[in-house]
């Protein structure tokens, strides 16, 4: 009898399993993906998501720098070239190192790794099937962390050759001359950036008329301008009617503003969102069910409607992000161990790892206006940051939003160099319920790009030093 069986070894599941074991709970983690008869640990994030995409973003960024930026610094490099198989090999080695690392962590923490597909039969029973053999396991608690998979659309069926999903787009062995992408979401922008930097002519077809509607609206506008400048060619309000694979390319037919268009691409990436992995996950008798979009309904503590069955990560509501998944994992097993841990969902940061990065935490001006709340804002452009100028990265700005009366920070939004790390400082400040004044009175090292956060916080109360404090 286990105390906890975790289903899935992505950032939700593996973190939950390790923490559960640290808390003295007898824990097993079941994973269905395999390699050489062993579980392939790490889920989407480590194998086909966060890590490989960031490896390619970093390689392609260095190449683009060599092509376009080095000369500004007086560095001469003649005709830089990129070796795609070597770049892919580097990415694969990083993935192997990290996924192997989880296996070592499981061993060090006494987490039992079980290979197979788990099915929940009841509140205390999990069946695990591998190569036709089924084993029945008994447990006091079940944590579902089965993650998500790409959504496919009937008009552009993925064939894993020239019409691919995000996984295929991490594995091209040559730079496609022309690349179409359906969806200007996070994957479309990150993977579009990778291939555009390497030389692809990229066209993105987005259904919505709004670009990045979840971000601060001024940031979305600047980002759209900058990415079009970088060659992403983002088309909004497009209805894709068909994508047909031919021998040589993919022909895409779409409508935009009442007109019909046809484009041919060497490769097409379908990046229109992800869906939860809940198919065949539980038997009827388990008492579990899913909502109309396939997610497992849970409360703020990730409890399902069946006592002692919990669900975390991409398989439940909320943003599909690795850090949100991991924090839910920790909260759940702490609660199983009797500790009253809660998670502050309002402080989950979001980052788009393009160059420059886009990042935010908390509420934006539209959220607050829609809720009828009074707020004040302060912004600071990187064009006025000494360090940003010294680095040659002065696009974008930082915005701090605070409660009009209490001055408590309600949101931090950034587009520019190290935006992810700058917003992370905002997350820490918000976690400690800091005011804009608190952040303004905090000492920031000079010269750093983080000083833009300091100045934006000071600008909230018209105390910025390096820009005019014009009332917005
Ligand atoms: P997953 O990572 O999907 O793991 C679920 C695991 O459960 C899988 O290993 C699966 O095989 C296993 N499983 C499923 N069903 C069963 C079953 N019945 N029995 C046994 N095992 C089962 N997020 C970020 O925060 N930052 C990023 O930079 C980022 N980049 C991304 C880039 C890409 C290209 C993609 C696709 C995603 C990215 N994400 C990123 C999102 C992130 O990968 C997910 O939010 C995260 O992996 C979710 O973790 P999870 O543990 O809930 O699910
Ligand atoms: P997404 O939800 O971010 O974007 C999908 C986009 O496709 C949306 O803009 C949507 O309007 C558009 N779309 C949907 N149907 C369409 C259609 N038929 N035609 C044209 N456009 C259409 O989803 P994604 O980019 O696939 O990424 C999935 C999830 O993975 C993200 O929501 C995110 O949570 C996670 N992720 C995170 C990161 C990160 O944290 N940096 C990176 C990659 C992925």
pLDDT tens track for 83-99: 999 999 999 999 999 99
Cα–Cα dist 209/198, whole Å: 28
- The answer, yes or no, to whether any atom of ligand 1 lies below 6 A from the CB of 324, is no
- Give residue 407's pLDDT band: very low, low, confident or very high (50, 70, 90): very high
201: Cα separation from own chain's centroid: 24
Given a cut of 80, is residue 14 above it in pLDDT?
yes
Q: Is the pLDDT of residue 391 over 80?
A: yes
Angstrom distance (rounded) from CA 18 to CA 406: 40
CB–CB of 220/228 below 8 Å? no
The pLDDT score that the predictor gives to residue 36 is 87
**Tokens 């971000």, residue located:** 215
- Per residue in 117-156, pLDDT tens? 999 999 999 999 999 999 999 999 999 999 999 999 999 9
What separation in angstroms does the CA of 445 have from each of 242, 385, 416, 449, 450? Answer: 53, 13, 18, 9, 8
Stretch (H or E) spanning 334: helix 322-336
Is 185 a pocket residue for ligand 1 (Cβ < 6 Å)?
A: no
Residue 109 CA to ligand 1 center (angstroms) comes to 22
Ligand 2 centroid to Cα of residue 94, in Å, is: 25
For residues 412-428, one letter each, b for 16 or more C-beta atoms within 10 angstroms of the residue's C-beta and e for the rest, the string is bbbbbbbbebbbbbbbe
* Whether residue 31 has pLDDT greater than 80: yes
Mutate to test the pocket of ligand 2, among 170, 184, 187 (most ligand atoms within 8 A of CB): 187
Q: Which atom of ligand 1 approaches the CA of 40 most closely?
A: 9
Q: How far is the CA of 323 from the centre of ligand 2 (A)?
A: 17
The secondary structure element, H or E, covering residue 144 is strand 133-144
Q: pLDDT per residue over 434-445, tens digit each?
A: 999 999 999 999
Tokens for 117, please give them: 């597909």
The Cα–Cα gap between 345 and 433 comes to 14
- Closest ligand 1 atom to the C-alpha of 322? 25
280: number of Cβ within 10 Å: 9
The CA distance from 195 to 188, in Å, is 11
pLDDT in tens, 309-333: 999 999 999 999 999 999 999 999 9
For the cut 70, the answer to whether the pLDDT of residue 215 exceeds it is yes
How many CB atoms are closer than 10 A to CB 445?
Answer: 9
Question: Is residue 9 predicted with pLDDT exceeding 80?
Answer: yes
Binding residues for NAD(+): 183-190, 206, 273
- Using a 6 Å cutoff on CB, does residue 276 contact ligand 1? no
Ligand 2 pocket residue status of 10, Cβ below 6 Å: no
**What are the structural domains of the chain?**
2-149+275-346 (3.50.50.60), 163-272 (3.50.50.60), 356-460 (3.30.390.30)
| Ligand 1 center to 11 CA (angstroms) | 7
Terminal-residue alpha carbon distance, the chain: 62
Residue 138: per-residue pLDDT = 98
Pairing of strands 397-403, 409-416: antiparallel
How long is the chain?
472
Which pLDDT score is estimated for 469?
Answer: 78
Residue 269 in contact with ligand 2 by CB distance below 6 A: no
| Percent of the chain predicted with pLDDT > 70 | 99
- Sheet strands (E) in 356-438: 357-362, 375-381, 397-403, 409-416
Give the separation between CA 201 and CA 121, rounded to whole angstroms: 50
Q: Rounded to the nearest whole angstrom, what is the distance from the C-alpha of residue 212 to the centroid of ligand 2?
A: 10
Percent of the chain at pLDDT > 90 equals: 98
For the full predicted model, state whether its pTM sits above 0.85: yes
Whether 52 lines ligand 1, by a CB cut-off of 6 Å, is: no
Where do runs of H (alpha helix) occur along 143-280?
Answer: 166-169, 186-197, 217-229
* The pLDDT of residue 374 is above 60: yes
Whether residue 376 has pLDDT greater than 70: yes
Long-range CB pairs of 97-101 (<8 Å, 24+ gap) are: 98/42, 98/46, 98/51, 99/40, 99/41, 99/42, 99/46, 99/47
pLDDT at 471 (0 to 100):
58
- What residues form DSSP beta bridges with 351? 359
Give the pLDDT of residue 42.
98
Strands 375-381, 112-115: pairing is unpaired
Binding-site residue ranges: 54, 183-190, 206, 273, 314, 320-323
Residue 347: band (very low, low, confident or very high) from pLDDT cuts 50, 70, 90: very high
The residues annotated as belonging to the active site are 446
Q: Where are the beta strands (DSSP E) in 233-343?
A: 234-235, 238-245, 250-256, 259-265, 267-270, 274-276, 309-311
pLDDT tens digits, 36-82: 889 999 999 999 999 999 999 999 999 999 999 999 999 999 999 99
**Closest alpha carbon to 175 in 244, 263, 267:** 267
pLDDT grade for 247, boundaries at 50, 70 and 90: confident
Q: Would you tell me how many other CB atoms lie within 10 Å of the CB of residue 199? A: 17
Please say whether the dihedral angle defined by the alpha carbons of residues 259, 260, 262 and 268, taken in this order, is positive or negative.
Answer: positive
Binding site for FAD: what residues are annotated?
54, 314, 320-323
Report the nearest atom of ligand 1 relative to the CA of 50.
30
* Ligand nearest to the Cα of 166, by number: 1
**Ligand 1 contact via 278 beta carbon (within 6 Å):** no
pLDDT in tens, 132-142: 999 999 999 99
Q: C-alpha dihedral over 314, 315, 319, 320, to 10 degrees?
A: 20
pLDDT band (50, 70, 90) for residue 470: low
- Ligand 1 atom nearest residue 166's Cα: 34
Of 396, 448, 31, nearest to 215 by C-alpha is 396
């Amino acid at each position: 009898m286990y105390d906890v069986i975790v289903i899935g070894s992505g950032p939700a599941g593996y973190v939950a399993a390790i923490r559960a074991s640290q808390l003295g709970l007898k824990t097993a983690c079941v994973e269905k993906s395999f390699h050489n008869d062993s579980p392939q640990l790490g889920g989407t994030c480590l194998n086909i998501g966060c890590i490989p995409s960031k490896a390619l973003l970093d390689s392609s960024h260095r190449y683009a720098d060599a092509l376009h930026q080095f000369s500004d610094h007086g560095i001469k490099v003649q005709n830089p070239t990129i070796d795609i198989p070597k770049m892919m090999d580097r990415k694969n080695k990083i993935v192997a190192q990290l996924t192997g690392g989880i296996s070592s962590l499981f061993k060090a923490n006494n987490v039992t790794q079980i290979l197979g597909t788990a099915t929940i039969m009841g509140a205390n029973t999990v069946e695990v099937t591998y190569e036709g053999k089924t084993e029945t396991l008994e447990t006091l608690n079940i944590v579902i962390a089965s993650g998500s998979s790409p959504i496919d659309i009937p008009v552009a069926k993925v064939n894993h050759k020239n019409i691919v999903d995000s996984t295929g787009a991490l594995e091209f062995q040559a730079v496609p001359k022309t690349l179409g992408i359906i969806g200007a979401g996070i994957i479309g922008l990150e993977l579009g950036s990778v291939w555009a930097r390497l030389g692809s002519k990229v066209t993105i077809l987005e259904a919505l008329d709004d670009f990045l509607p979840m971000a601060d609206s001024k940031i979305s506008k600047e980002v759209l301008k900058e990415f079009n400048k970088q060659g992403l060619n983002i088309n909004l309000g497009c209805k894709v009617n068909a994508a047909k694979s031919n021998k040589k390319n993919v022909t895409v037919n779409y409508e935009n503003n009442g007109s019909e268009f046809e484009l041919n691409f060497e490769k097409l990436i379908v990046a229109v969102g992800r869906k939860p992995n809940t198919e065949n996950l539980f038997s009827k008798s388990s008492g579990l069910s899913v909502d109309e979009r396939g997610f497992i309904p849970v409360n703020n503590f990730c409890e399902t409607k069946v006592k002692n069955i919990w669900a975390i990560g991409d398989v439940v509501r909320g943003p599909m992000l690795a850090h949100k998944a991991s924090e839910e994992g920790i909260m759940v097993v702490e609660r199983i161990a009797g500790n009253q841990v809660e998670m502050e969902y309002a402080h989950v940061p979001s980052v788009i790892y393009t160059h420059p990065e886009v990042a935010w935490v908390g509420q934006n001006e539209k959220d607050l206006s829609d809720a009828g709340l009074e707020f004040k804002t302060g912004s600071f452009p990187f064009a006025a940051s000494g360090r940003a100028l010294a680095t040659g990265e002065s696009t974008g700005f930082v915005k701090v939003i605070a409660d009009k009366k209490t001055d408590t920070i309600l949101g931090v939004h950034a587009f520019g160099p190290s935006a992810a790390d700058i917003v992370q400082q905002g997350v820490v400040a918000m976690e400690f319920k800091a005011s804009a004044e608190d952040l303004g009175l905090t000492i920031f090292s000079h010269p750093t790009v983080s000083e833009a956060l300091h100045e934006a916080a000071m600008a909230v109360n018209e105390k910025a030093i390096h820009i005019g404090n014009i009332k917005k």
